[in-house]
Amino acid sequence: MEKINVQEKLSLFNEYWSPRIIGVVNESYVKLAKFKGDFIWHTHENEDEMFYVLKGVLTIKFREKDVLLHEGECIVIPRGIEHMPAAEKEVQVMLIEAKTTLNTGNVINERTVESLEKI
């Protein structure tokens, strides 16, 4: 067991919308990611996911409303709920998701990350 310096791990990459694994808790990955701009509308049919904002402001758009998350705030999105993350400026987030979770959910396109890197 080794401690993890989250800021150090975040300094190892600059790509947006490309999560990196920093650990495993049971059958879930703990991931770090940087977001900027709008992602895509998508749904995770079989997995819940949690977004925790480390730095910046993240908007999670739902069809009926937007939820604004500031540093130190998080949201758990239940499976089957369509959503779209968005960030006007760079935001750093920690994600907790089942190992089976595909970043683009039910949509496969150029933003889909099928093989996650561990840092």
Residue 26 maps to a domain:
yes
pLDDT at 94: 98
Residue 32 maps to a domain:
yes
List, for residues 89-110, the tens digit of each pLDDT value: 999 999 999 888 767 666 776 7
Residue 57 maps to a domain:
yes
pLDDT at 104: 62
pLDDT at 46: 93
What percent of the chain stands above pLDDT 70?
Answer: 90
Q: What is the number of domains present in the chain?
A: 1
Of 26-40, 45-59, 61-75, 100-114, the one with minimum mean pLDDT is 100-114
Residue 113 maps to a domain:
no
Residue 116 maps to a domain:
no
Residue 112 maps to a domain:
no
Question: Which residues, 6 or more positions from 96, have their beta carbon under 8 angstroms from its beta carbon?
Answer: 25, 28, 29, 30, 31, 49, 50, 52
Residue 1 maps to a domain:
no
Residue 45 belongs to a domain with what CATH number?
Answer: 2.60.120.10
Residue 62 maps to a domain:
yes
Average pLDDT of every residue of the chain = 92
SS3 of 6, please? helix
pLDDT of 40 > 80? The answer is: yes
Structural domain for 23, as ranges: 6-107
pLDDT at 57: 98
**pLDDT-based confidence at residue 1 (cuts at 50, 70, 90):** confident
Distances (CA, A) of 84 to 28, 45, 75, 105: 21, 15, 13, 11
